[in-house]
Structure 1
Amino acid sequence: MTPVEIRDCIRQAAAACIAQDGQAFAALFHPEGELVLPGSRIVGKGEIEQVTTKYLGTCENIRIQIQRVIIDGMQAVVEWLWLDEKKSGQFSYAENAIVVDFQEGLIVRWREYTDTKTQFCPLETL
């Protein structure tokens, strides 16, 4: 993959989350890909689709702001800001650092580190 293709894949992942489309998010993964989130490890495209569809279904009005993407070969590090409103009416804000590994044009590993305490930018900018 070229750096342009890697950046495009990351933008597609963000767009899938914003659209609350777990199927589109999972489609970016290798069949045996893994999604590692704080406290959980999900393996396989089917499981990734199931888990992300369920989680995204609890959200409304998701906003993501990509802060930076650093690419080194077939790996990327992404910083993005995430804001969503839960169906309960509460807001969820997180600053995420995501390490993404690619193989054959697909994500083989997405490892997310989440900070929900520090606020890098005002929420109204998202």
Structure 2
Amino acid sequence: MNKENIVSLIEQARTAWITQDVDALIEMFTPDGEFIVPGQKWQGQARIREELTNFSHQYSNVKIDIRRIIIENNQASVEWYYEDIEKATGRRNQADDVIIIDFKDGRISRWREYFDTETPARNQ
């Protein structure tokens, strides 16, 4: 993939997160794609769909500001600021987040997040 295609796919992923469009996000993954967040690992589109659907039922008002994208070959590092609201409590969650993404055949083959909920800096 070229850099423009990678940036476009990352921006599409951001939009899918914000709109909670699970179908759009799943289509970005390879059939055997991997999604990893601290303490969790989901393999394959069906499993990722299940977890993202659960997420969309529990959280709303997602906001994401992309801070930077670093691309090398078929990999990217994305730094973004993330917010959502937990529906059950009304609590606003905030995090600085770094995602390492691997691409294969124009899709995401691996998405691994490293997030910091202790020191998010929205206005940096």
Stretches (4+) displaced over 4 A = none
Q: Which runs of 5+ in 2 are unaligned?
A: none
Supply the AA of the counterpart residue of 2:97. N
1:38–1:112 CA contact under 8 A, matched in 2? yes
- Distance in 2, matches of 1:95 and 1:31, equals 28
Map 1:12-91 to 2 at 5 A.
Answer: 12-87=12-87, 88-91=89-92
Q: RMSD of the alignment, in Å? A: 1.2
2:83–2:93 CA contact under 8 A, matched in 1? yes
Supply the AA of the counterpart residue of 2:94. Y
- Distance in 1, matches of 2:120 and 2:50, equals 30
- Distance in 2, matches of 1:119 and 1:62, equals 15
1:18–1:62 CA contact under 8 A, matched in 2? yes
User: Deviation string for 1:20-46 (max 9, x for gaps)?
Assistant: 112211110000010011001100011
1:34–1:41 CA contact under 8 A, matched in 2? yes
For normalisation by structure 1, the TM-score amounts to: 0.93
- Distance in 2, matches of 1:7 and 1:57, equals 28
For normalisation by structure 2, the TM-score amounts to: 0.95
Matched residue count: 123
Identity of aligned residues (%): 38
